[in-house]
Amino acid sequence: MAPARHGSPGARQIHCGEVTHDEAIGEVLVPAQDLARRVRELAAEISADYAGKDVVLVGVLKGAIFFVADLMRALDLQCEVDFMAISSYGSLTKSSGVVRILKDLDAVIENRHVLILEDIIDSGLTLQYLLRNLQGRGPASLEVCALLVKPGRSKVDLQPRYVGFEIPDEFVIGYGLDHAERYRNLPFVAALNQ
């Protein structure tokens, strides 16, 4: 079995695959057990805040897939889940500012409590677009739960109600986050060596 490349505990969990030796995987910024613990904390907070309400979780594809799956399983709440796919990046690592809906919601959200589950907020342009779009559909409430935020770079005034981790201004991969569609399957969040 090959040794882990990184000193962090998160890295040790995938030391048997070829991805371990990929030079693009940089420093582990959020180990797997920290993700698991924080997701449970967020779920407890959300469960308390939304108790007794008609909740629709809106996962933003594809980056939020594991976040949605893990958070939803930890919620002590009756809720639905739906997904939107939005494109703002292509395979580049800088925001284009151009946002397109690739897949819209199936659910009607009028008069319902909507909680957007987003993988990461960088410029905030994607989320700003999404919030304006969903607000126009008349939800009872509309809030954001972002697993990761890069605070220094936000180009818009956005206050997500729930935040998992504030991370440095680096392009990150893993736990759903990709670079050119790769590395989503890493169980931790790591910096991309560019």
Binder to ligand IMP among 46, 109, 119, 139 (CB under 6 A)? 119
CB 46 within 8 A of CB 79: no
Binder to ligand IMP among 124, 130, 139, 162 (CB under 6 A)? 124
Residue in 87, 155, 80 with CA at minimum distance from that of residue 122 = 155
Based on the residue annotation, tell me whether 119 is a catalytic residue of this protein.
Answer: no
- Sign (positive or negative) of CA dihedral 185, 119, 47, 35: positive
What are the b/e assignments for 116-142, b being 16+ CB within 10 Å?
bbbbbbbbbbbbbbbbeebeeeebeeb
Please give the span between the terminal C-alpha atoms of the chain, in angstroms, as a whole number.
27
122 contacts ligand IMP (rule: CB under 6 A): yes
CB 147 within 8 A of CB 88: no
Q: Select the span of 25-33, 74-82, 108-116, 117-125 touching ligand IMP (CB under 6 A).
A: 117-125
Which of ligand IMP, Mg ion, none does residue 125 bind to, with CB < 5 to 8 Å depending on kind? ligand IMP
Distances (CA, A) of 63 to 168, 183, 184: 18, 11, 8
176 contacts ligand IMP (rule: CB under 6 A): no
Which is the catalytic residue, given 122, 157, 169, 178? 122
Which of Mg ion, ligand IMP, none does residue 183 bind to, with CB < 5 to 8 Å depending on kind? none
125 contacts ligand IMP (rule: CB under 6 A): yes
Of residues 5 through 44, those in contact with ligand IMP by CB under 6 A are none
Binder to ligand IMP among 121, 144, 145, 147 (CB under 6 A)? 121
Q: How far is the CB of 90 from Mg ion (least distance, A)?
A: 8
Q: How far is the CB of 32 from ligand IMP (least distance, A)?
A: 17
Distances (CA, A) of 164 to 138, 144, 153: 27, 11, 17
Q: Which residues are catalytic?
A: 122
